[in-house]
Amino acid sequence: MGVECALPWVPVPSSAQPPKAKTRVLRKLVLALLALVFLLGFWQIGRGLTIRAKAQLAQVLMRDAWERTLAGERQVKPWPWADTWPVARLSVPERKIDLYILAGANGRIIAFGPGHMFGTALPGEKGNSVIGGHRDTHLAFLRDVKRGTEFEVQRPDGAWRRYRVKAAEVLDQAETWVTKQNGWTRMTLITCYPFDALRAGGPLHYVVFADAIDKRG
């Protein structure tokens, strides 16, 4: 009677899963990653749409405040709790841009519109008027502005002044000379750079220099 031979039992490592099981796990990981990417994209789009909607609504409210300013009122708040007010109207006919510039240029203010930097000349007045704003809302048009493009600025007294773009440069934010008040009458518009960055901020600014060319009104 022969002796039946049997192979010794060898435990299979837990990592040695059948091919189908590995495929299922990999598929789940890919689906989870895609879902995460989708949710992040949806959140970014929703955030961007909210910012744009707020910016557009603010401009409507500022238009009414500007009309009251032209009628003789001063420091007219566009909404009751605002800590800013429109100081000028900016028009770029070539780009079909019509904006109201707010007093102050901190992050809270420029969420609603381009802001005038305190300590620099008011838009339309003698000196260097420095205007800041977001690259993805109100000052996004600067990306396509060329040398020779003309701006028009309306002051609170109703008078208009024209400016012509002289140059545009990418500069480090440490280049504070762009805010100096010496020299001729001009406007300096500043926004973040690059325009297509996924996150705001960064050390670089896109700076547009425009010289006053005449008065009107």
The set of residues, in sequence order, having a beta carbon less than 8 Å from that of 195 and lying 6+ positions away, is 135, 136, 140, 143, 206
- pTM for the model: 0.73
The CATH number of 46-216 is 2.40.260.10
Is residue 178 packed enough to be buried (19+ CB in 10 Å), middle (13-18) or exposed (0-12)? middle
Biggest distance spanned by C-alpha atoms of the chain: 121
Mean pLDDT of 87-93: 96
Tell me the C-alpha distance between 181 and 104, whole Å: 17
Check whether 110 has a pLDDT greater than 60.
yes
Q: pLDDT tens digit string along 12-25?
A: 454 555 566 667 66
Mean pLDDT of 180-197: 92
User: Taking a C-beta distance cutoff of 8 angstroms, is the pair 84, 103 a contact?
Assistant: yes
Q: pLDDT tens digit string along 27-73?
A: 656 656 655 554 555 444 444 555 566 667 777 899 999 999 999 99
How many C-beta neighbours within 10 Å does residue 67 have? Answer: 12
86 — phi, psi (to 5°)? Answer: -70, 135
